[in-house]
Amino acid sequence: MRCEVVAVGTELLLGQIVDTNSSWIGEQLALAGIDSLFQTKVGDNFGRIADTLRAALDRSDAVVVCGGLGPTQDDITRDVIASVMGVELVHDDDIEARIRYMFGSRARTMSVNNLRQAQVPLGATTIAQMPGTAPGLVCPMPEGPYEGKVIYAVPGVPSEMREMVAGTVIPDLKRRSGVTSVIKSRTLRTWGQSESGLAEMLEGEIERLDAEPSATIAFLASGIEGIKVRLTAKAATEAECDERLAAEEAIVRDIIGDIVFGVDDETMEHAVVALLAERGLTLAVAESVTGGLIGSRITNVPGASKVFRGGVVAYASEVKFEVLDVPEGPVVTEEAAMAMADGVRRRLGADVGLAVTGVAGPDPQEGLPPGTVFFGLALGDTLEARPVRMPGDRERIRTFSTIGLLDWLRRRLLALD
């Protein structure tokens, strides 16, 4: 079975909203073993949406349409689908009751135009999951050129779309296609190696998998968050799939080593907080060039309060001298970074002190070019510093510095084993 994705909304074409929905739906189709060869964006125009849906139905067995199911005048997806099906829209009393209940339960007045969302193409069914006021639709094509094919319509709101796709669309597609096998993926997140470098390190394992297919390896560059190594396995059961993924993960980790910092949605700060907790250590950070980004990312991790004492954003040189006891003089040096780490550890009563100072640009500072950064670490009886060069503009320098410093701490904590 072939399925394609159509994203509806003029705002997508104008670049006002980034279309993350299509990429997520595409990923779910791939994991379900459903072929997906086309993704299209189209504006809020009746004729162009209709032409796009007909072209999609000409070359595919199913179409997932995302967006255009709201209550306003430009929300015309349901009208276009009815036209393509050659049927009328009919009012669904149950959907109207659910919409009225949603507004009533929130003590909000319902605008009459919300009842447009209770209009359903004749022969279509509504999707059981309905987290918002827009119902999703399953629209089997009636007798005619597209007989046997189906259009699924889901809202453009990502949380609503995901619930409907996972709860109804994917299971229904698997049923229609006869797919019974299980496909699962696991993503290893890495830092400190290029995509080409990872590919070279894993070249032998990829060749082995080509000859003895039990899993596949793919690479995904995720910008300032490092390189992702995605492992995918297909098996008759979920348990067998998990077993294959676990075996392949162990092989890949053995090859590429400790550059792996997390799995799936685990961030660098998740890894650092977990390691600190395992070792019973507390952390304090002193930030200059990053301006509080490190503390913000750490405190975004549930349970961080058990290990994170706090931070000092010592942006001005005077704050470094007066609060962190950095000796007066240049502040973008290894010595300043070490003094900042030691000072914040003592001031906040932490076991570990972490610090960063540098030049974000665009102008040089202290005769140093933008991207010049120094990390500092106070751990046990050791004070150390590390010079690094960060690429990019001001934002990228600050973000790379944040993740790079956390990764340096992660590796030092691993070395305590």
Q: What string of DSSP letters covers 351-388?
A: SEEEEEEE--SSS-BTTB-TTEEEEEEEETTEEEEEEE
Q: Return the half-sphere exposure (C-beta side, CA atoms, 13 A cut-off) of residue 233.
A: 20
Q: Which has the closest alpha carbon to 120: 131, 132, 136, 133? A: 136
Q: Give pLDDT, residue 181.
A: 85
Tell me the C-alpha to C-alpha distance, in Å, between residue 56 and each of 10, 38, 69, 151, 174.
19, 8, 19, 10, 19
- pLDDT tens, position by position, 173-189: 999 999 888 889 999 99
- CA-based nearest residue to 408, from 301, 294, 319: 294
pLDDT at 90: 97
248 vs 260: CA distance, rounded Å:
14
In this model, does residue 23 exceed pLDDT 90?
yes
CATH tag for 3-177 (out of 3.20.20.450, 3.40.980.10, 3.10.310.70, 3.30.465.10): 3.40.980.10
Beta bridge partners of 260: 190
Place of tokens 């003590």: 107
Asked if residue 273 lies in contact with residue 307, where contact means CB atoms within 8 angstroms, the answer is: yes
- Which segments of 144-232 does DSSP mark as H helices, in order? 158-164, 170-177, 195-201, 203-211
Q: Give domain 279-414's CATH superfamily.
A: CinA-like (3.90.950.20)
182-263 CATH: 3.30.70.2860
Residue 292 pLDDT class (50, 70, 90 cuts): very high
CA-CA-CA-CA torsion sign (249, 252, 256, 257):
positive
pTM of this prediction? 0.80
> b vs e for 76-107, b when ≥16 Cβ sit within 10 Å of the residue's Cβ?
bbbbbbbbbbebebeebeebeebbeebeeeee
Sorting pLDDT into bands at 50, 70 and 90, what band is 222? confident
Provide the mean pLDDT of the chain: 95
Residues 297-315 pLDDT 10s = 999 999 999 999 999 999 9
Q: If we measure between CA atoms, which residue out of 343, 347, 340, 349 comes closest to residue 374? A: 340
**Closest to 124 in 3D by CA, of 159, 83, 158:** 83
Strands (E), 283-336: 283-287, 308-313
What single-letter DSSP state applies at residue 112?
A: G
- Whole-number pLDDT of residue 354: 98
| Residue ranges per structural domain of the chain | 3-177, 182-263, 279-414
**DSSP per residue, 28-76:** HHHHTT-B---EEEE-S-HHHHHHHHHHHHHH-SEEEEES--SSSTT--
Of 378, 377, 407, nearest to 390 by C-alpha is 407
Burial bucket for residue 144 (CB in 10 Å: 0-12, 13-18, 19+): exposed
Q: How confident is residue 239, by pLDDT bands cut at 50, 70 and 90? A: very high
Fold match, 182-263 / 279-414: no
